[in-house]
Each structure stands twice: as C-alpha cells, then as structure tokens.
Amino acid sequence: MREKFLKGIPVSSGIGIGKVFLYKRDLPHVPERVINEDEILKEISRFRSVINKVEKELSDLYQKVREEMGSDIADLIEFQILLLKDEEILSRVEKFIQEKKWDGAFSYYRVIQDYRESLANSSLPFIRERETDIADCAYRVLRSLLGDEKTFLSNWHTTEDVILFAFDLTPTEVAILNKEKVRGIALGRGGKSGHVAIMAKAKEIPAVDGIWDLMRDEYQNRTAILDGKRGVVIINPNEKRIAQYQREIAEEKKMKSIYLMERESECVTRDGKYIDISANIEFIGEVEKAKEYGAKGIGLFRTEYLFFSRRRIPSEEEQLFFYEEVAKKMKPYPVIIRTFDLGGDKVIPGYTELNPFLGWRGIRIFLEKRELLRTQIRAIMRAGAEHKNLKIMFPMISTLEEVQEIKREISQVKAELEAKGIPFDPEVELGIMIETPSSALLAEKIAPLVSFFSIGSNDLTQYTLACARDNERVSYLYDPLHPTVIRLYKETIAAARKYGIWVGACGEIASEVLGIVLLVGLGIDELSMVPAKIPEAKRIIRQLEWRKTQEWSEKALSLATAKGVRRFLIREIRKNLPDLAEGLNE
C-alpha cells in the first residue's frame, strides 16, 4: 500500500506516530428470544441488576475523571449516567419483557433502536451527540446482558503506540484513554466544540476530525502519522516522511523543555515593553496546565462549555462553584470570565436558523433572555467576593446600546445583591469582545463605558472579510493579517489608549509569530492563548524590539493585500530575527 493522505479538521494540536487501531462500537446483533411466563420477574430483576452494574462502572469513571481533569469535564459522564437511568426507557423495556415476553437484551435493543433512529439523522450536532451517548450506554448494557464485555474500549490494552481510528467516541471512551500509548485520535465526526475535541485537548492527545472515509479494514495495524496541527493523517508513510516527523516531534520536545525552564521569566521586549501573557481555558482542570506553562492570568474562560457538558444552562449555584474554583486556583492573577457565547458554531439544542453566525448569538440571546444574563452576572460577582480577581467579558457586541443595556443590568444586579446582604465584589471590571467590525469602529464610543477590550481575531476576520473560516470553498479569503482587519485592530487599540483602558487579543493570531509581531507593534497590552503555546510566545516577545515592531506594523497598514503583509513581515523577521524565521513561508 502506498502513502495515503486523509484530510480532516484539526481539533487538538500535536503529532503522533503509531499503528492504526480501528475501533468500531456497533451495537451487537441481538436475536429475539422469548421467555416463559414464570421467567418474567427473574428477567426484570436481571435487567435491573445490569443497569446498576453499568451505573457503578460509569460512577467510578466519573470519579476518576473528576480527580484527573476536573468536575466540569466529569459532568460529560454524569450526563451519560442520567441517560442510563432514564425511567421512560427503563419502563418501556420492562413493559416489553412483561407483555411481549422478550428477554431483557432484545427488549432493551428494540427500545434503544427506536430512540437512535429518531436522533441519528438530525442535522443538529447536539442531537447527534445525544444519539452517540445513548449508543454508548446501550453498548455497555447490551454487552453485559449478553455476557460479552471483551470489546469494551475500557477493556482494551496495548503495549505499542497506536493511532485510534473511530467514527465517533463518547466522553467515557476518551476519558479512559492512556495518552502514553494512544498517540492520536482520528474521527469521522465530532467538531471543534464537541466533547471529544474538548477532552482530547484536556488530555493533550492530538486529534483530527471530519475524516469520513477512515474506517477501512485495510488501515488496521498500518503505521500512521497523525498531524493535529495541520489536520492530516498519513497512512503507511515512507521512511523519509517518518524521519521528518520524528525530527519535528523531537524538536517540539526539546523546545518545550527549554520554554518550561524559562516560563517564570518576565515577558518583556528587548527595549522594555511589557506584555501580559494569559491562557484561554474551557475547564477548571486546565488552570493547573496554564500555571505550569507560565500564564499570568486567564484571558478567556469560555463558560459555554459548562452548558455543553450538561445540555442545559447551569444554575447560579453551579456557576458560583466553578467560578470560585477558578478564582481560587489562579489567585493572585486575574481571571476573565466570558459570558455564555452560544449560537454560531456552538449550536443551541432545538433551535436552528438559516445563518447562525449572523443570527441569534452571544449577547443577543441574553439581552432577550434577561434572567439568564442576570444569573450569570450574579454568580460571577458573588464568586469574586473573596478573591477579588474576576472580570466579566461580554461577547458578540455590535452596538453601543448593547453595552449600555449590559451596564444597566449590572447596576440592577448589584442593587439586588446589596439589598439582600449577599457578599459580592462591587469592583468587578467589565470588558467586551471586539469581534465585529461595528464594535471596532465604535470602539472610541464604547471605551468610556468599559475597563478593557479583548480582540477576538477569529470572528473579527470572518465578519470583516465575509467568509466562514470553516468553509473550505472560501477559506482562502480568511486571513487575520488582511490589511482591513489590521486597521480594525489599530482602531481598537487607539481608542483604548485614548481612554486609558487596556486591550488584549485572544484569537489564534495571539499565539502566531507574525500575529505577535504585528500586535506588539500596534501596542497590544495582553495576549491570551491555549496554555501549551505560552512559553513559545514569551520566547518570541523577549527577542523583539518594540520600536522596530512599531515601524513594521505601520508599514503593514500601508499594504493592500494579506499576502503582501505576510511577505513583508517574514522578510523583516528573516533579516532581523532569524531565530524566529523557522517554518515561515511566504
């Protein structure tokens, strides 16, 4: 077999090399078996015993994940426990056993198939994930009822490095993976905001998604390279290719050890410009990783993942617990909590619209559902009472009126908490995401009302250039270094300077060499990124001269194309900072 390239979507960065292991979690064939009248009660009891057994397995796994990765990630498994104990399903199974005299396995199989058929073809990712969760529960229950548990992924052990191929995986399956042996995960479906992507990143396992033709028997036991940075899986790579990737892995390990030795060093340019470096996180468990890599704060805590793990809006007390945990773990450094950014690619269950990125999204949802907004504001302010290091950031702002409305809601929440004698932090800073062209152009009007801006370059780029970043047909247009987008960065930073507030950036550009050089030159105060990229960002900044980057940024603003900007910056870096030029291509 010759080298074969499978293209997908990068969802967890890193490179892995190993033998392909095809994991197929198809429900087993369950033959119809009729039982005698006098066996009915015994069969119902056996069925209930199996449900209790599987519940114990999932509960043990929940505790393991809670200890290793945090309670918020563990909630993904708690959701499966709730599915397992769904009384509607269990009652229908027992009804089939009693009325049709089918055994427990066939009765359960028939009930589950009905549910799966209604969910599997949904166009909504949330509904499809629910179908996957149901399938995982059903797989465990049926294998136990049939006395065949050897095919559980949890019972699978390997002594060699593997690349796990699967059409999809569930939270319980990802949770038990040993990252020392599972060097990568290749999936048919899931998505960047799906639970597999979330947990793979938390476990630091490289992953690629969206490879629809990956479950071929001919791939089994073949050597494969999974490149989670570029979204590629290479089957049967030649020796030259393997050697190339092995060198890249070795270089990454070497650089990581160097970076980690320097993680506590100050992030200052050679001519004295200080830049705050913070981490983007989605789960409590990532706080320790952020500190390990040298983050001096959390620049973006994506709270919508508290929603995804439950498939519902968490209560005020649930939110309070999570925000207090993050504040306590990160103290004395600041934590910026972004309010729920639902909509767009983060689909709301049961709700569809023709163009979700331009529709009911972010702050628009919560200005319509005011109590949800107040609940989150209350939880954040209460969580800040003791540690005094929390800030609130609102997403998807496009008008001045939205900011004014938010300010009124905050004043109302403060008054309510004070009237009830509930402790809270009245000095919590308010900031907004600059991720729409209108918010950038209005920055000078908005700045007096807030304490900080954070540039979300990913959305700002796609809204400015009118191209979805995940649409392959127009992805060539997407470039956060396009001159029009750079002008919006400049407008935002200039407005912040005029009114004495600070400005950060938390999109992908904040961790890339060219983006860092450009933003530092424009006068950015803070850069926030995934924890693993922090040490390299610090190394880049410590080699820069702020004065020189200012000249480069001014020149970039005068250019007409993104290609021209990239070519200019790369040439200047090669000439002045050759150590940073590796891997940069014009």
- Written as one letter, the residue type at 114 is D
Grouping H, G, I as helix, E, B as strand and the rest as coil, residue 274 is strand
Concatenating the DSSP letter of every residue in 402-429 gives HHHHHHHHHHHHHHHHHHHT----TT-E
Q: Is residue 398 packed enough to be buried (19+ CB in 10 Å), middle (13-18) or exposed (0-12)? A: middle
Is 435 annotated as a binding-site member?
Answer: yes
Residue 506 annotated among the catalytic residues of the structure: yes
CA distance 556 to 114: 59
- Written as one letter, the residue type at 157 is H
Rg, the chain, Cα only: 26
Residues 6+ apart with CB under 8 A from 251: none
Is 458 annotated as a binding-site member?
Answer: yes
Q: Which among 230, 183, 309, 256 is positioned nearest to 531, based on CA atoms?
A: 256
Q: Which of 195, 267, 387, 482 is flagged as catalytic?
A: 195
Q: Which among 148, 189, 149, 191 is positioned nearest to 168, based on CA atoms?
A: 189
Is 221 annotated as a binding-site member?
Answer: no
Give the Å distances, CA to CA, from 110 to 90, 93, 135.
12, 8, 12
Is 302 annotated as a binding-site member?
Answer: yes
Give the Å distances, CA to CA, from 540 to 261, 275, 528.
15, 11, 14
The DSSP bridge pattern shows strands 429-434 and 390-394 to be: parallel
Q: Which of 137, 387, 482, 506 is flagged as catalytic?
A: 506
Grouping H, G, I as helix, E, B as strand and the rest as coil, residue 20 is strand
Is 338 annotated as a binding-site member?
Answer: yes
Please state at what angle helix 104-120 crosses helix 87-99, rounded to 10 degrees.
130
Is 216 annotated as a binding-site member?
Answer: no
* DSSP 8-state code for residue 26: P
The Cβ-side half-sphere exposure at 258, using a 13 Å CA radius, reads: 10
The DSSP bridge pattern shows strands 15-23 and 223-227 to be: antiparallel
For 426, phi then psi, to 5°, come to: -75, -10
Q: 171: which 2 tokens?
A: 């939270």
Q: Which among 22, 367, 282, 356 is positioned nearest to 166, based on CA atoms?
A: 22
Q: Is residue 48 packed enough to be buried (19+ CB in 10 Å), middle (13-18) or exposed (0-12)? A: middle
Asked if 429 and 451 count as a contact pair (C-beta separation under 8 A), the reply is yes
CA distance 517 to 581: 12
Annotated binding site for phosphoenolpyruvate: 302, 338, 458-459, 469
Annotated binding site: 302, 338, 435, 458-459, 469
Catalytic machinery residues: 195, 506
Annotated binding site for Mg(2+): 435, 459
